[in-house]
Structures are given as C-alpha cells and as structure tokens.
Amino acid sequence: MSFQQLKINIDSKRAEQLSDIFFELGALSVSIEDQYEGTELEQPIFNEPGMDVKGLWEHSTVVVLLNADDDIEAIIAASQNELNSTFDYVLEQVDDQDWVRLTQSQFEPIEVTSKLYIVPSWHTIPNPDATGIILDPGLAFGTGSHPTTFMCLKYLAENITSNMKVLDYGCGSGILAITAKKLGAQLVDGVDIDPQAIESSLFNAKNNQVNVNFYLPDTFTAGQYDLVVANILSNPLRMLASALASYVKPHGKIILSGILADQIEEMSTIYSQWFTMNTYTIQDGWACLEGLRK
C-alpha cells in the first residue's frame, strides 16, 4: 500500500486555513512546517518568558498525506476554490512502512561531549561511563539537536560543579535544567511562561530520575544563582536583561543563547552593564554568550 503526499509552500496567513480545508476534504494527516527549517533562515516560534509569540512561520510548508487512490486534481481544485487562491505544489509517492520503526531509526543519540549524550528512550547510551539525558525527539519544547540548545549543553558539560545553584530561564522541555542536575549541580530551578512546557519538564525530570523545581513566572520566587542559562529569543533577552542579571550572584555567570551571530555586539553591549561579556561559541550562524557578573 502507498500514499500520496502534497507539499505546498505558502504564507502563514493562508497555511492554517489551507490545513483545515484539506482535513475537510479527507486528508489522512496535515502538518505545517517551517519552509526554511535546517537553514540559517529557520524561524523559531516559541512562547518564551517575556515574549508572547503566536502564529506560524512567515514562510510555511503545508504537508498533506492522502490515500493512493484519491483524485489529486479534484482535491487541489476544491482546496483552491475554498481558499479562493491558487498555489503551487509538489506531489510525492510515499510507500507504506513501519512508521514508528522508520522514525526511530532516524534518531540516534546526540553526542554533546564524550561524557554527555542526549539519548532517545529506545536507545542505550553509547558510552556507559557518560551521563545520558533521556529525551525523545519530536517534543515541542526542544531535544538538544538545535544549535542554540546544543551549545548550552556543551557549556554545562564543561562547567557544572557539585556546589552550583543553577536557573534555567525559559526551560522548555527542561533539557538544560535536567542536564545541570544530572551533572551534579546542587540545586536547579526552571522557569517557563507556558504551562505545557512545565508539564513537559516535570515529566522529563521524572523520566531522568532527578529532582528539579519548575515554575511559571508568577509562582517563581526569585533568588540568586551561580549560573543562569537563558536559551530563549533575542527580543525577550533584551526585555529581560535587568531581571536576568538580578538572578546572578556577584561573580556568578550567565549564558545567553538564541542569538544570531550578527547580534553578538548588540547583546553584549546590553548585558555589559552587569557582566563582562565573551562569546563562548558560534554554531551554524547562532551564538552563545557567556557573562561574568561584575
């Protein structure tokens, strides 16, 4: 048995409407993806602390799965009529497969360093002496594969010590907070604006058998930490600069990620009011900054 798959590049204003139309026309599944995923033009769409971002990618791709015997021309004509607009599309034939096994086979453990791996639940850690963070791909709140998260993970692997108190601000899936705790941090807190992110973080912490505190902003009692990690977006990093700085102990450190390489100078200037700033690393056009509290 096989299926037909349509891929339609379209603007965000019409993507969701088109998705609904295809469901009404009997599509087996419909997803909306970033047209520029995997490139430097990739556009993060998150609800980060301090920034309420809603909507879809400006340049979206609608992916539609249909039965092999569906009349594609008739479905396209009906969808364009409902949308009151024409669009180009690519048609592919998709073979029936064991989708679970196929999907799992595409995701291997992520080696952050020789001593730290992000491991899907169906794999064993390649190095039994390393620290393994159990996290499955496909989560809405981050799994470590994106450069912004990967750079933070690498920093944690190189810098966490047993006496540290760590804050993960914009915790998402909880991956950074959980990693800090598994690497031996004394106390770890996580904060996120999205209740579903908090639920995801709590689930992942339990799955990794670590005790981490996760809070929504209105339940978070601010303290001071040896290390604050903020892997969010550049706009909330601008807006939250003073607050994030206040969470860092004198001579403590802050890690900022979610910044494009061409934003290094601007972000360093903003945070230099409180920190001595350095560029920790750059990967695929993204930058991770380190600041030492003055």
Nearest to 30 by CA among 13, 5, 12: 5
Q: In whole angstroms, give the CA distance from residue 172 to residue 44.
A: 13
Q: What is the dihedral of CA 231, 50, 239, 154, to 10 degrees?
A: -10
Tell me: do 110 and 91 sit in the same domain.
no
The last residue of one of the domains, among 46, 68, 96, is 96
Q: What is the pLDDT of residue 217?
A: 93
Strand, helix or coil at 233? coil
Residues 62 and 203 placed together within one structural domain of the fold: no
- Terminal Cα-to-Cα distance of the chain (whole angstroms): 65
Q: What is the SS3 assignment for 22?
A: helix
Neighbouring CB atoms inside 10 A of 230's CB total 29
114 in the same domain as 52: no
Q: Is the confidence at residue 113, as pLDDT, over 50?
A: yes
Helix, strand, or coil (residue 209) = coil
At 48 the pLDDT is 40
List pLDDT tens digits, range 60-91: 889 898 888 899 999 999 999 988 989 999 99
Model pLDDT, residue 51: 41
Average pLDDT over residues 21-33: 86
* One domain for residues 195 and 288: yes
The reported pLDDT for the residue numbered 138 is: 55
Tell me the CATH number at 11: 3.30.70.120
- Assess whether 80 and 183 both reside in one domain: no
pLDDT value at 24 more than 90: no
Q: What is the pLDDT of residue 131?
A: 94
Nearest to 288 by CA among 256, 265, 260, 266: 256
Mean pLDDT of the chain: 87
- Supply the CATH number for residue 166's domain: 3.40.50.150
Rounded Cα gap, residues 114 and 132, in angstroms: 11
Q: How far apart are alpha carbons 288 and 280 in whole angstroms?
A: 6
> What three-state secondary structure class fits 187?
strand
The answer on pLDDT for 54 being more than 80 is no
User: What pLDDT is attached to residue 52?
Assistant: 43
- Residue 253 pairs with which residues in a beta bridge? 227, 292
Q: Do 124 and 88 share a domain, yes or no?
A: no
Question: What per-residue confidence (pLDDT) applies to 184?
Answer: 96
> How much is the CA Rg of the chain, to the nearest whole Å?
21
CA-based nearest residue to 203, from 140, 160, 256: 140
- Among residues 169, 171, 172, 161, the alpha carbon closest in space to that of 254 is found at 169
Q: What is the pLDDT of residue 286?
A: 92
Range of the domain at 60: 2-96
- Name the band, by pLDDT with cuts 50, 70 and 90, for residue 53: very low
* Same domain? 139 vs 269: yes
Strand order in the sheet with 225-231: 213-215, 187-191, 165-169, 225-231, 248-260, 286-293, 275-283
Q: Are residues 84 and 123 in the same domain?
A: no
What gap in Å lies between CA 68 and CA 246, rounded to an integer?
59
Highest averaged pLDDT of the listed ranges 56-60, 100-104, 243-247: 243-247
User: Do residues 42 and 36 make contact, with C-beta atoms less than 8 angstroms apart?
Assistant: yes
Q: Answer yes or no: do 275 and 129 share one domain.
A: yes
Backbone phi, psi, residue 247, to 5°: -85, -5
pLDDT score, position 58: 75
- In whole angstroms, what is the distance from residue 179 CA to residue 185 CA? 9
What does the pLDDT read at residue 40?
66
CB distance 194 to 188 below 8 Å: no
Question: Which tokens belong to 170?
Answer: 């914009």
Q: Out of 5-9, 229-233, 241-245, give the one with best mean pLDDT.
A: 241-245
The dihedral built from the CA positions of residue 227, 228, 234 and 235, taken in this order, carries a sign that is negative
Residues 140 and 233 in one domain: yes
DSSP 102-136: HHHHT-PPEEEETTEEEE-TTS--SSTTSEEEE--
Give the pLDDT score at 47: 41
pLDDT one-digit tens code per residue, 252-287: 999 999 999 999 999 999 999 999 999 999 998 899
End position of a domain, from candidates 78, 96, 114: 96
On whether both 72 and 182 belong to a single domain, the answer is no
Q: 10-24, 128-142, 181-195: which range is least confident on average?
A: 128-142
Tally of structural domains, the chain: 2
Whole-model pTM? 0.67
Final residue belonging to a domain, choices 96, 115, 136? 96
Least Cα distance to 109 among 90, 95, 123, 129 occurs for 123
Average pLDDT over residues 241-245: 97
Mean pLDDT of 156-165: 96
Once rounded to an integer, what is the mean pLDDT over residues 133-140? Answer: 71
Same domain flag for 47 and 123: no
Residue 159: band (very low, low, confident or very high) from pLDDT cuts 50, 70, 90: very high
* Average pLDDT, integer, range 116-126: 87
Residue pair 135/206 in contact by the 8 Å Cβ criterion = no
